[in-house]
Amino acid sequence: MSANGYYRLAAVIPPVRVADVVANSAALVQAAKETAQLGAHAVLFPEMSLTGYTCGDLFFQPRLREAALQGLGTLVKETADLSCVIITTVPLVVHEALFNTAVVLQGGKLLGLVPKTILPNYREFYERRHFHPAADLRVKEVSLSGFGSVPIGTDLLFSDGTDFTFGVEVCEDLWAVLPPSSRLALQGARVIFNPCASTELVGKAAYRRRLVAQQSGTCLAAYVLASAGVGESTQDVVYSGHALIAENGHLVAENPRFSRGTTMACADIDLQRLGEARLSESSFNENRLPQEWNSVRVISVAPADRECDLKLAQIPKRPFLPPASQAEERCEEILNIQATGLARRMEHTGAKCLVLGVSGGLDSTLALLVCARTCELLGRSPQCIRALTMPGFGTTGRTHANAVKLAKLLGVQFSEVDMRAICQQEFQMLGFDASQRTTTYENVQARARTELLMNTSNLHGGIVVGTGDLSEIALGWSTYNGDHMSMYAVNCSIPKTLIRCLIAHIALCSSSELAEVLQDIIDTPVSPELLPPAEDGTVEQKTEEVLGPYDLHDFFLYHFIKYGAPPHKLFLLAQHAWGKEYDDAVIRRTLSIFLTRFFAQQFKRSCIPDGPKVGTISLSPRGDWRMPSDAAVAAWLEGEEE
């Protein structure tokens, strides 16, 4: 087993000589050993890679079939000291019928045989001339010289008893209306291996990529495909040697096609995460298999003898951010979701205006920009936005100036209310010593601001637009019944790291003057500005110095909520993704803060306002995250102090 849930999977395209089994078996042995040295837990070779796929009527020749079994024996014997699983296919006669059969071997043993289900019989493919489909198989085991009795059938699953459970389908099976891989996934396979021989035609590689990625997403699985290479016969068609690995809808590894030497695609895949995804984020378990598909035989696979080092794992540092190639489209989509949600709320409530506090910080800036887009969507003037800046004891000249400039450039109604006098009066009423920089000192300001916003919305027939983001909601970094409360929270499922991205996107589409203000807001340290600034007027109360980097908090939030990653794995993943920027002590301290605050602050999340969900992660107590407010964190903190 792999303690971290990661397994290294490889699809290898070795050089092949048609009908030269001796040369081919030697090439497979060498490729398997080299791939095993790279730490692969499983190695997939193309369809008929011992004989060549394009042997045609030579498959009817006993000598070729005998040679294929001899070559298989060589492969099994020469890789006996390897712990990795090896998969390819051979032509196999069973009860006077010839089957295109996948073979699964490991550690000097032939574990199982899986015949091809769907045989192509069109255009350049004439497999039914030579082979029978799996439906014609009438036995559960076959006796092979040198191997003894070996299980055979399409009902085989292979498992190490933990996360590494896989099934095999062969080439055309994937192109079927109901691929065997769908059934295998529902029976527990988290990986599908496909030894394949797919011809190369103009545009076919792109289609193959989409097909593999889509099936991995449909099955919530990893999908590994290795297709025959350029050594195959080019009598009528050409094979490119395409190797692909996809994980839950995303292509994660691919080799260069048309190579004349050995190539591979190799990736570290988190199979534990795929299992968690099947539990929580889809209707995967709502599928019901037909009765005849319910039976399955599980073949034991020896567990991994080494831990995956994650060098080939795709672990984005900022998982909430879109890929660069999709950034513009994705940002526009998010902004449109926010604006559409707010527009619907305005229409439903009959609100005459939108009221929000603008501080010159990230969250309120994005909220104001969304309000402006909402007015544009509804055909209303930006003057129906009432933006208030409410300087307090910690407000700096930089943030105040940016708030004023932003409101002016967007053409909204803008007013300023100095909160200090209001707060001083509150301190006097409470008998509080304002020289004590306690939570009371901070929260009086936050609640006073919210009270003013709520009363302003009542006065003008509007609604208060909340500015708090997903990161703050996760950590409870808000004042209960202060900035915690609003009438519609447009940022509620957008984490801090994504807010920077969205503002930067808007800056690219804005005038130079507005873009300059937005960039300065992005560059300003995150702060609630509730404590007095430093002597030079700069921000003294920096959130990330208290909580730890938002980069890490958002990273933990993503993997904790989406895949239920336990603390030791959260640390491992962060160490791999962020180890060059943050040392282990910072990662561990931030993780401890994240876990402690996430559990302790659930009571705030239990009564947060409505707001639009824009991604797969939301902490709304009504639809996405249901957790008791008094749940204990102890089990998640065990061992984290080490």
- CATH, residue 238: 3.60.110.10
- Is the residue at 467 inside a domain? yes
Question: Are 263 and 349 in the same domain?
Answer: no
- Is the residue at 316 inside a domain? no
Question: Are 553 and 404 in the same domain?
Answer: yes
- Is the residue at 313 inside a domain? no
How many structural domains compose the chain?
Answer: 2
CA angle 535, 537, 539 (to 5 degrees): 105
Only one residue has tokens 């801090």, namely 496
- Pairing label, strands 263-270, 250-254: unpaired
The mean pLDDT value for 581-608 works out to 97
Only one residue has tokens 């999908």, namely 223
User: How far is 513 from 352, CA to CA, in rounded Å?
Assistant: 29
Question: Are 275 and 334 in the same domain?
Answer: no
Question: Are 148 and 278 in the same domain?
Answer: yes
pLDDT at 250 exceeding the cut of 50 = yes
Q: DSSP H helical segments within 512-633, as ranges?
A: 512-523, 543-547, 550-563, 567-578, 584-600, 602-605
Question: Are 329 and 243 in the same domain?
Answer: no
Whether residue 303 contacts residue 160, with contact meaning beta carbons closer than 8 Å, is answered with yes
Closest C-alpha among 255, 157, 491 to residue 356: 491
- Is the residue at 620 inside a domain? yes
What's the pLDDT band for 247 if we cut at 50, 70, 90?
very high
pLDDT at residue 292, rounded to an integer: 66
Question: Are 261 and 351 in the same domain?
Answer: no
Question: Are 503 and 382 in the same domain?
Answer: yes
Task: Supply the mean pLDDT for the chain.
Answer: 94
The secondary structure of 287-318 as a DSSP string is ----GGG---EEEE-PPPSS----TTB---SS
Cβ neighbours of residue 540 closer than 8 Å, sequence gap 6 or more: 394, 531, 532, 533, 534
User: How far is 544 from 540, CA to CA, in rounded Å?
Assistant: 12
- Is the residue at 212 inside a domain? yes
Question: What six digits make up the tokens of 591?
Answer: 């993780």
First-to-final CA distance of the chain: 24
* φ/ψ of residue 303, rounded to 5: -65, 160
- Pairing label, strands 462-466, 413-416: unpaired
Closest C-alpha among 403, 401, 400, 405 to residue 420: 400
- Is the residue at 450 inside a domain? yes
- Pairing label, strands 148-151, 6-13: unpaired
Question: Are 407 and 517 in the same domain?
Answer: yes
User: How far is 43 from 195, CA to CA, in rounded Å?
Assistant: 10
Given 55, 116, 127, 353, the catalytic residue: 116
Question: Are 333 and 238 in the same domain?
Answer: no
User: Of 370 and 639, which is predicted with more confidence?
Assistant: 370
The mean pLDDT value for 619-624 works out to 93
* φ/ψ of residue 516, rounded to 5: -65, -40
What's the pLDDT band for 642 if we cut at 50, 70, 90?
very low
Q: Which amino acid does the sequence have at 231?
A: G
Question: Are 410 and 547 in the same domain?
Answer: yes
Which CATH number goes with the domain that contains 415? 3.40.50.620
Q: 268-304: per-residue pLDDT in tens?
A: 999 999 999 998 867 888 877 777 666 899 999 999 8
Question: Are 262 and 329 in the same domain?
Answer: no
Structural domain of residue 199, as residue ranges?
Answer: 7-283+294-300
pLDDT at 112 exceeding the cut of 70 = yes
Q: 300-342: per-residue pLDDT in tens?
A: 999 988 889 999 999 999 999 999 999 999 999 999 999 999 9
Counting DSSP H helices and E strands in the chain, the numbers are: 19, 20
User: How far is 45 from 528, CA to CA, in rounded Å?
Assistant: 57
Catalytic annotation present for 116: yes
Q: What letter does residue 635 receive in the DSSP assignment?
A: H
Q: 428-486: per-residue pLDDT in tens?
A: 999 999 999 999 999 999 999 999 999 999 999 999 999 999 999 999 999 999 999 99
- Is the residue at 478 inside a domain? yes
Cβ neighbours of residue 280 closer than 8 Å, sequence gap 6 or more: 564
| % the chain with pLDDT above 90 | 89
pLDDT at 264 exceeding the cut of 70 = yes
pLDDT at 173 exceeding the cut of 60 = yes
pLDDT at 640 exceeding the cut of 60 = no
Question: What six digits make up the tokens of 115?
Answer: 């015949």
Q: 536-592: per-residue pLDDT in tens?
A: 777 778 888 999 999 999 999 999 999 999 999 999 999 999 999 999 999 999 999
What's the pLDDT band for 489 if we cut at 50, 70, 90?
very high
Q: What letter does residue 139 receive in the DSSP assignment?
A: -
Question: Are 226 and 345 in the same domain?
Answer: no
- Is the residue at 315 inside a domain? no
Whether residue 608 contacts residue 481, with contact meaning beta carbons closer than 8 Å, is answered with no
The mean pLDDT value for 402-407 works out to 97
pLDDT at residue 265, rounded to an integer: 98
Given 84, 171, 353, 375, the catalytic residue: 171
Catalytic annotation present for 171: yes
User: How far is 162 from 271, CA to CA, in rounded Å?
Assistant: 9
The predicted model scores a pTM of 0.92
Whether residue 46 contacts residue 290, with contact meaning beta carbons closer than 8 Å, is answered with no
User: How far is 90 from 194, CA to CA, in rounded Å?
Assistant: 14
